[in-house]
Structure 1
Amino acid sequence: MPAAPPLWDLFCRVIDNHGDLGVCWRLARELAARGQRARLWVDAAAAMAWMAPEALRGDVPGVQLRPWREPFDAADLAGLPVADVWIEAFGCELPPTFVAHGVRADAAPVWVNLEYLSAEPYVERMHGLPSPVLQGPAAGRTKWFYYPGFTPRTGGLLREAELPARQAAFDRAAWLAAQGVPWRGERLLSLFCYEPPALAALLAQLQQGPRPTRLLVAAGRAAQAVRAVFEHKMGLQPAQIKRGQLSISYLPYLDQRGYDELLWACDANFVRGEDSLVRALWAGRPLVWQPYPQHDDAHHAKLAAWLDWLQAPPGLRAFHRAWSGIGAEPLPPLDERAWIACASAARARLMRQRDLASQLIGFVAEKR
């Protein structure tokens, strides 16, 4: 009888913006698509209702969505098959009772600390290094650092095998019509952001610009930020969604597939965090990225390193600095036509590299 495919336990804590959850769900799906089995343990799965409703329905073969509640029930653990691989996503720590159950097995799981995405130099140095466990029920065992990244010396980026074919078959006009977007050929920009310091400047620039533009605003913090600018800084009501050359369409929450399609539909994309950055790179359109703002300004170095990897032209670099409030420069003109070659070249470089799920499966196979 053939052996069962390897079983992976992925642990994810939802912090505030659901990006970690989005990455972990994509990874679980990709592992299953490559013949693995995955249990995704989540401490707050409510966002799955709009992000990935198939997860709540249990419609993805090879993937189980499990609640992460502590303390783990001893009876539940006793009947739980021990996985072949443990993934701690983004610095979360496995529950000690769960670890104690697993290390009693004859063959302990390969234990991987999946880190945040960055283009900074330390990523290549740290990727794949061991981390001895010094205390707790697994003392004496080893974790392994695994870093996603943008270069061949890192763990790569999540990418589905069918992604290029899906993108090639995409019908922009039909998708916009299905979303109720009254598109009449104007420039389309998507906006998924936190509260960028230069948001008011961008909206004013688009209103006064030479080209008609429609801004497709993602639900949540992006929509709240745009409405706040109109209400508090411009004295307008949110319902006034046509000002000068700028029209605004507020979108509902989109599932992961729908968000990919939004990026493909637009001429340029404003993205934030980790998951949407990767999806925007695969879209191959000009993009503006807002890293998660940190109180110690660590995101400044993270942004600079990414712009260096991107080989961003001077205008795109200046736009990013102003967008994230780095320095005192005013927001330069949005010039997606000048930035398209940079975006296309970046996508081409990444497409030549192996995807994260494939590399991670190989990495684990070496350690087992």
Structure 2
Amino acid sequence: MQSQDFSVYAPTDGSATEAWVFVRVIDNFGDVGVGWRLSCLLAELLCLRVRLWIDDLGALDRLVPEHAGYQPQIVVETWQDDEAAMQRQLAAVADPVLVIETFGCDLPSAVQARMTECRPLWLNWEYLTAEDWAVDLHAMPSLQANGLEKYFWFMGVDAASGGLLREADYLAKRTAFQQQVSMQQAFRQQYGLPLQHSGQLWLVFAYASVCWPQWMAMWRQADAPMTLWLAGGQVVDSLRAAQVIAPDALQQDGDVYVLDKLTLVRIPFVPQAAFDRLLWLADAAIVRGEDSFVRALWAGLPFFWHIYRQDDDAHLHKLHAFWNKAMAGWPVGVRGAFMALSDDLNGAGNLDGLRRVEVWQDLYANWQNWVKAAAVWSEMLHAQDSALEKLARFSHLPLK
């Protein structure tokens, strides 16, 4: 399917400059992470004043602790279920030119009533997927009971999809950081990260799983120096529950635990704005959630995606759809070993201990091919229009 220009909406008098973004927090920081990044890009690239309605301010405060002063064009509102309270909030705000409900969250009836009066562009910003059906449905309208049309925005990796969230200066920032050792060391010191590491450096930000004791055994038996920066507590909790590490190990940020040639480091929780620099320091990564997955794509390094599990294994269709496209040009040896381990990580495979080690050694032997393949895929994605560039074209809102 060829990329299309869905130019369906434009402000009539140029006076409407406010966008509303609605977020319900379901998956810890995943939903708020996408909602905040989208809000920032709407403000920065489309020059909109953004009103972010969110039902869990605590999650936002942790992910973006400086949000009150970070982006003055974003106003954060508590999304209240009480209809009278919502009515009072709406009475004090300007009409929006754009309303985005993230991930199918249902808008309050008071908001929809307001929309029937000012008739903004209404988008349902869906979860990222590389499945072909999403490209076919991207930007399609759906007539609602209130007479408004809602358009479905599917982010994805295909040129005809809704694209991915990316800052205009991303590549310049990545290059500057990777070329300046002093900047890297200052970042390590700021967050209490080790100034040195042994062997390959992996960033691991993943969900709790029974696979982690098995993967630690795999890496130990591979007998090559390796350092894991463990972000968040879920992987550590899995290792402690399986008695792979001592009960009092890795309790505090900065704690180190050594298993033969494998060095585990518990790193502090970093705000969203700092996550890219963790990836830029790493040789490879295991990431979870949508926002972290996209940042790993932009970083261009080898990584596994520990995808959020869904009923009936629906997440595996999403996982395979992405990797089948990403690996189209990969060498056969890299592709086979990678997919075996990716499936093993996400509950789709059945590797025994010996086979797991053999597959890892195959992938490790093809390391440079994997590095090159990941970089080439990332460069291809960078060459595509970003989600905000596509949204500007779709909406006729001016792009900065």
Percent identical across equivalent pairs?
A: 33
Q: Who is 1:163 aligned against?
A: 170
Are the structure 2 counterparts of residues 88 and 184 from structure 1 closer, same or farther at C-alpha, using a change threshold of 3 Å? closer
Alignment of 1:245-260 (within 5 A): 245-260=261-276
Aligned to 1:327: 349
Partner Cα distance (1:199, 1:70) in 2: 39
From 286, 295, 305, the equivalent of 2:321 is 305
| Residues 180-195 of structure 1: pairs in structure 2 closer than 5 A | 180-195=193-208
Asked whether the 8 Å contact 1:208–1:245 carries over to 2, the reply is no
d(CA) in 2 for partners of 1:7 and 1:152? 28
Distance in structure 2 (CA, Å) of the matches to 1:264 and 1:235: 31
Partner of 1:244: 260
Is 1:94 matched with 2:107?
yes
Query: Runs of 4 or more off by more than 4 Å in structure 1?
Result: 2-5, 233-237
Equivalent AA in structure 2 for residue 274 of structure 1: E
1:42 partner letter: I
The match for 1:109 among 91, 97, 120 is: 120
Aligned match of 1:50 in 62, 84, 94? Answer: 62
Root mean square deviation of aligned Cα: 2.0
What is the CA–CA distance in structure 2 between the aligned matches of 1:27 and 1:266, rounded to whole Å?
Answer: 25
Q: Deviations over 1:48-81 (max 9, x none)?
A: 22311221x2431311111101224233322321
Partner of 1:316: 338
Q: Secondary structure at the match of 2:62?
A: helix
| Distance in 1 of aligned mates of 2:94 and 2:233 | 38
1:202 alignment counterpart: 215
In the alignment, is residue 7 of structure 1 matched against residue 18 of structure 2?
A: yes
CA offsets 1:286-338 (integer angstroms, 9 cap, x no match)? 00001110121001111111111111511111110111121313433152444
- Say if 1:184 and 1:302 are closer, same or farther in 2 by CA, change over 3 A: closer
Separation in structure 1 between the aligned mates of residue 89 and residue 273 of structure 2, nearest angstrom: 34
Distance 2:92 2:220 in 1: 61
Aligned in 2, Cα 1:129/1:184: closer, same or farther, shift over 3 Å? closer
Relative to structure 1, is the Cα distance of residues 184 and 21 closer, same or farther in structure 2, using a 3 angstrom cutoff?
A: closer
Q: Deviations over 1:242-295 (max 9, x none)?
A: 110111111111111221111111110001121111000111110000111012
Pairing 1:17-96 to 2, within 5 Å after superposition: 17-34=28-45, 35-55=47-67, 57-72=68-83, 73=85, 74-96=87-109
Q: Does the aligned pair in 2 maintain the 1:148–1:156 contact within 8 Å? A: yes
Q: How many residues align?
A: 356
Residue 371 of structure 2: which of 340, 345, 364 is its match?
340
Q: Does structure 1 residue 359 correspond to structure 2 residue 390?
A: yes
Q: Note if contact 1:119-1:305 (Cα within 8 Å) is conserved in structure 2.
A: yes
Per-residue deviation, 1:237:
4.7
Equivalent residues of 1:186, 1:212 under 8 A apart: yes
1:265 to 247, 263, 281: 281
Moved more, 256-265 or 183-192: 183-192
User: 1:161 is matched by which residue type in structure 2?
Assistant: A
**Structure 2 letter corresponding to 1:32:** A
DSSP-derived class of the 1:296 partner: helix
Letter in 1 for 2:48: Q
Question: Displacement of 1:101 after TM fit?
Answer: 2.3
SS in structure 2 at match of 1:169:
helix
SS in 1 for 2:156: coil
Q: Deviations over 1:96-132 (max 9, x none)?
A: 1111123123xx1111011000111111111011111
Structure 1 residues 222 and 47 mapped into 2: Cα distance closer, same or farther (>3 Å)?
A: farther
Mapped partners of 1:253, 1:235: distance in 2: 22
Please state how far the C-alpha of 1:177 moved relative to its aligned partner: 4.1
Separation of aligned partners in 1, 2:193 and 2:289: 27
Q: Which position in structure 1 is the counterpart of 2:10?
A: none
The answer (yes or no) to whether the contact 2:128–2:290 under 8 Å persists in 1 is yes
Conserved? CA contact 2:231–2:269, under 8 Å: yes
Give the Å deviation of 1:89.
Answer: 0.2
Rounded to whole Å, the distance in 1 between the matches of 2:325 and 2:261 is 34
Give the counterpart of 1:142 among 139, 146, 149: 149
* Amino acid in the other structure paired with 2:382: M
Find the aligned partners of 2:272 and 2:288 in 1 and give their Cα distance: 15
**Deviation for aligned residue 1:181:** 1.3
Unaligned runs of 5+ residues in structure 2 are 1-12, 251-255
How far apart are 1:224 and its partner, in Å? 2.4
Match of 2:141 in 1: 130
Shift of 1:17: 2.1
Q: Give the corresponding residue for 2:160.
A: 153
Paired residues of 1:271 and 1:280 also in contact (CA < 8 A):
yes
- Structure 1 gaps, min length 5: none
2:18·2:94 contact (CA, 8 Å) conserved in 1? Answer: no
- Report what 1:214 is aligned to: 227
Residue identity matched to 1:149: G
**Contact 1:58–1:65, Cα closer than 8 Å, also in 2:** no
Kindly indicate which of the two structures has a greater share of residues assigned to helix.
2
User: What TM-score, normalized to structure 1?
Assistant: 0.91
**Higher-RCO chain (CA-CA 8 Å, sequence separation at least 6):** 2
Partner residue in 1 for 2:5: none
Q: 1:175 aligns with which of 167, 171, 187?
A: 187
Which amino acid in structure 1 is aligned with residue 199 of structure 2? E
